[in-house]
């Protein structure tokens, strides 16, 4: 990102590039669909070799690979392409950290349409579309659960490790469990812990399948239905709320947090993984920018600052709220103590 | 743009941001539609003031303005927004250099659809859609002519000044004249020059209107029809081919250049304004990236290197080809001499 102050003379170049920014979205999507990164990982390094492996035209591959090089996803030396380090780890289908599956949800037509109507969303102060994603049993959340797990694998392990430092967990509530990976990682690092996963019934089928596959199925329990209505029970020492509060306004968040407060034992903790911008709301860039996604896609969601999450938690009765020092992938970890 | 080599540890953050790059397209488009930049130029500096001026929700404006700040189109200090220097010059409707009108063409649905089918374009090595833009009298070119002139005003003056150094022009052929600004700028800097503008009939109506408005209507002549079929006549000392060759493959470009060669007097020049990437095809970024636009939108167009443009010109009979030192906005200027 260039800062305007560094420019010698104003040019419309940044405007031109910003208007065409959607080309990068399409280029990454196409590269994932055609398995360009995987082809290069398999030692196909020229456009001719990649084209053969990907069943595409050499000319098309050459232009796409040059574009990906311009955006630093590839490295070009002479006529040979190589993978940038993060492309090698996350975009090669043979890598255990492959995240290419996330494109299906992140670019679901409904989400694209929300942004196509961004002007109306700015006018209204909330999504121009109907509740959509927040409706019960919405199949897009099954797509999300299937597609986003790889992106969250490493963050979930980091969060589980951070929480483990504060003591062993025995009964864990995982709200908006989704693919289940956050609760599953806690289960793996806390051998006696039982996980109670809350989400829509169709989504929990994905989480349960993952829990079984990862060897914690016998300690995995389902709480199907809306997190705002389901009876969580009591006696939890840990609750997880991962990338969920951003979909709601602060009073709604506080309502949920109050419900969690009741379910926790004294001394119990809530781990909130979220996009947490600084107080200026414009840094760090990825967390701060997430606010626009919520404007486009939800009636009143937002990326909340730590002060806002602290207020929400204290409104709900929590005694103390902390921001973990380490970044967790593109999220931060906030811990509220009952 | 961060270079992968600088990253401490690979994270999927760049992938996540690249997939969501289309949000910047939509944000700039919405800001132009809502006149956010113009509102700030009019001294509305808080989200409440901007919201009132733009008839939008304060919450929506705050989130959009923060997003524009993250991408350096605005500057935020406390609760106040200001325009970055290039936003002030190009995105304030009251500025004579306002380029907001370009969004209508740059984001025309046909062009978006071309990119939505980028995977198929890579497979084919050319646009997945029918010829579309290249069809006679396509109304999108009228949109282009109306919308893009402000973006090309300053570059056209720079090109005319550069060409003036090589001598006065008397009879000038302007191929793919579009809004006409390139030929009009030459006419303004060469008081005896007559401009012969070639483009589709419906597009030339825009150029002629602009020529009249800018005081050169009496020296402005129309050559309606395809540049490949129209009889240009002879006796030209200068021809302009601005952002046109990129739509065609090299043999087709050479065919057109041969036709221009015949129309020029001995010693005559062709000025080619183009996106000209370096020989590595991945720098400078804006020129090199334009190749993807051509892959998506044309059967066989490309952003040509200087060596390629030189070969095309020499194939067509030109004796000498030069690359002007100075960048012309997002273009470079190549001059071929008969």
pLDDT digits (tens, 9 = 90+) for B126-136: 999 986 666 77
Of B162, B163, B185, B159, nearest in space to B330 by CA: B159
- In this structure, what token pair is assigned to residue A120? 């109306």
Mean pLDDT score, A188-216: 97
ipTM: 0.94
- Residue B127's closest chain A neighbor by CA? A60
In chain B, residues with a C-beta closer than 8 Å to the C-beta of A112 are 22
Residue B103 has pLDDT above 80, yes or no: yes
The mean of the pLDDT values for chain A is 94
Residue B305 has pLDDT above 80, yes or no: yes
% of chain A exceeding 90 in pLDDT: 84
| Per-residue pLDDT tens digits for B111-162 | 999 999 999 999 999 999 986 666 777 888 888 888 888 888 889 999 999 9
Taking a C-beta distance cutoff of 8 angstroms, is the pair B305, B276 a contact?
yes
Closest CB from A86, A151, A282 relative to B7: A86
Taking a C-beta distance cutoff of 8 angstroms, is the pair B122, B295 a contact?
yes
pLDDT at A141: 86
Residue A1 has pLDDT above 50, yes or no: no
Q: Which residues contact A271 (CB under 8 A, 6 or more apart)?
A: A159, A163, A238, A239, A240, A241, A242, A333, A334, A335
Mean pLDDT score, B17-39: 98
**Count of beta carbons in the 10 Å neighbourhood of residue A73:** 26
In chain A, residues with a C-beta closer than 8 Å to the C-beta of B66 are 281-282, 288, 291-292
Mean pLDDT score, B48-56: 98
Query: Mutate which of B62, B63, B181 to test chain A, going by most A C-beta atoms within 10 A?
Result: B63
CA angle A52, A53, A57 (to 5 degrees): 40
Q: Which residue has the tokens 């859609």?
A: B129
Closest CB from B1, B28, B122 relative to A71: B1
In chain A, residues with a C-beta closer than 8 Å to the C-beta of B22 are 21-22, 24-26, 112, 115
Residue B7 has pLDDT above 60, yes or no: no
Taking a C-beta distance cutoff of 8 angstroms, is the pair B210, B217 a contact?
no
- In this structure, what token pair is assigned to residue A114? 């929300």
> pTM for this structure?
0.94
Is A3 in Cβ contact with B123 (below 8 Å)?
Answer: no
Q: Which of A104-108, B70-74, B313-317 is predicted with the least confidence, judged by mean pLDDT?
A: A104-108
Reported confidence tier of residue B3, pLDDT bands at 50, 70, 90: very low
Residue A311 has pLDDT above 60, yes or no: yes
State the Cα–Cα distance between residues B65 and B57, nearest whole angstrom: 12
- In this structure, what token pair is assigned to residue B68? 């524009």
User: Exposure of B284 by Cβ count < 10 A (0-12 exposed, 13-18 middle, 19+ buried)?
Assistant: middle
The answer to whether B63 faces chain A, any CB pair under 8 Å, is: yes
Closest CB from B23, B71, B84 relative to A115: B23
Of A216, A165, A224, nearest in space to A195 by CA: A216
**H helices present in chain A, as ranges:** 13-19, 22-34, 36-41, 47-54, 58-70, 85-90, 102-106, 109-116, 118-124, 140-164, 181-189, 201-213, 250-263, 285-297, 306-315
Query: Mutate which of B70, B101, B248 to test chain A, going by most A C-beta atoms within 10 A?
Result: B70
Mean pLDDT score, B79-90: 96
Q: Which of A62-71, A99-108, A293-302, B172-181 is predicted with the least confidence, judged by mean pLDDT?
A: A99-108
In chain B, residues with a C-beta closer than 8 Å to the C-beta of A288 are 66-67, 70
Residue A79 has pLDDT above 90, yes or no: yes
pLDDT at B147: 85
State the Cα–Cα distance between residues B300 and A59, nearest whole angstrom: 9
Closest CB from B69, B91, B295 relative to A60: B295
Mean pLDDT score, B205-210: 97
């Amino acid at each position: 990102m260039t800062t305007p102050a560094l420019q010698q003379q104003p040019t419309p170049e940044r405007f031109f590039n910003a208007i065409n920014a959607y080309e990068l979205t399409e280029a990454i999507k196409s590269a994932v669909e055609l398995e360009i990164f995987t082809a290069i990982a398999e030692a196909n390094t020229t456009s001719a070799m990649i084209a053969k492996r990907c069943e595409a035209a050499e000319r098309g591959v050459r232009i796409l690979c040059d574009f990906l090089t311009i955006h630093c996803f590839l490295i070009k030396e002479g006529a040979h392409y190589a993978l940038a380090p993060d492309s090698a780890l996350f975009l090669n289908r043979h890598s255990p950290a492959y995240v290419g599956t996330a494109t299906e949800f992140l670019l679901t037509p409904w989400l694209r349409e929300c942004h196509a109507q961004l002007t109306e969303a700015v006018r209204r102060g909330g999504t121009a579309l109907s509740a959509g994603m927040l409706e019960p049993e919405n199949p897009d959340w099954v797509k999300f659960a299937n597609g986003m797990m790889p992106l969250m694998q490493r963050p979930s392990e980091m969060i589980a490790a951070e929480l483990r430092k504060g003591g062993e967990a025995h009964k864990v509530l995982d709200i908006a469990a989704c693919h289940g990976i956050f609760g599953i990682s806690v289960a793996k690092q806390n051998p006696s812990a039982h996980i109670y996963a809350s989400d829509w019934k169709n989504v929990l089928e994905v989480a349960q399948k993952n829990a079984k596959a990862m060897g914690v199925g016998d300690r995995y329990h389902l709480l199907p239905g809306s997190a705002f209505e389901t009876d969580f029970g009591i006696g939890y020492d840990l609750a997880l709320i991962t990338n969920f509060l951003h979909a709601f306004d602060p009073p709604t968040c506080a309502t949920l947090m109050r419900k969690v407060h009741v379910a926790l034992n004294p001394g119990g903790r809530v781990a909130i993984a979220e996009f947490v911008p600084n107080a200026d709301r414009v840094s760090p860039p990825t967390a701060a920018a997430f606010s626009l996604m919520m404007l486009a896609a939800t009636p009143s969601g937002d990326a909340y600052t730590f002060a806002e999450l602290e207020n929400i938690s204290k409104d709900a009765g929590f005694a103390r709220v902390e921001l973990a020092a380490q970044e967790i992938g593109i999220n931060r970890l906030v811990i509220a103590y009952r």
